[in-house]
Amino acid sequence: MSDADGHRRPSLVMRGAGILESVAMVLMVALVLSIFYSVVAREVFKLSVPWAEEVAAGLLAWSVMLGAAAAWGQRRHIVIDVLLRRIALGARVWISVVIECGALLLFYVIARGAWLMMFASANNTTTALGISFTWLYLALLIGTVAMILFSLVYLVSLIRNGKAVIGQTETKSEWTTS
């Protein structure tokens, strides 16, 4: 499989990212249905649905983190690469290695914080459903651990193959305002 820049991506990474993306989409549909149910129950039937907000918040956290991990694995996050495209290929590779290492450091800090918060908030529960906040922090942990794994695969590939994440040729625009 190839990404938007035409680079060959490991199929395991693409499959993993695809699975995360599919799960994130299912969770987003569940989120919309939960909110729709809450609004209809409140506005049409004049019923209070106190658990809907908690369910929606949990679904949002999980769908965002799994979707972000899927986008990271597919290299679909927004990138400003104007300067990186203007430098020589050899320098571009090593700058890409530094950028990937910086991302790994950031993801490690986030994952460690999520891990610590899981235990710090283990006895704190949501009001309506009584679910531990650990489950919300678990979404953050799983999402960042997935991003760490994807980054490690790309870093190894980058070092072995010597190809920068940014393509050596111009890429097609996905959309335009003209």
- CB-based contact 60:31 (threshold 8 Å): yes
Written as one letter, the residue type at 13 is V
For residue 2, the cross-strand partners are: 8
pTM, entire model: 0.83
**Each residue's pLDDT expressed in tens, for the chain with a length of 178 residues:** 455 455 555 688 899 999 999 999 999 999 999 999 999 999 999 999 999 999 999 999 999 999 999 999 999 988 888 888 888 888 888 899 999 999 999 999 999 999 999 999 999 999 999 999 999 999 999 999 999 999 999 999 889 887 655 544 445 555 656 5
Return the domain boundaries, the chain: 11-161
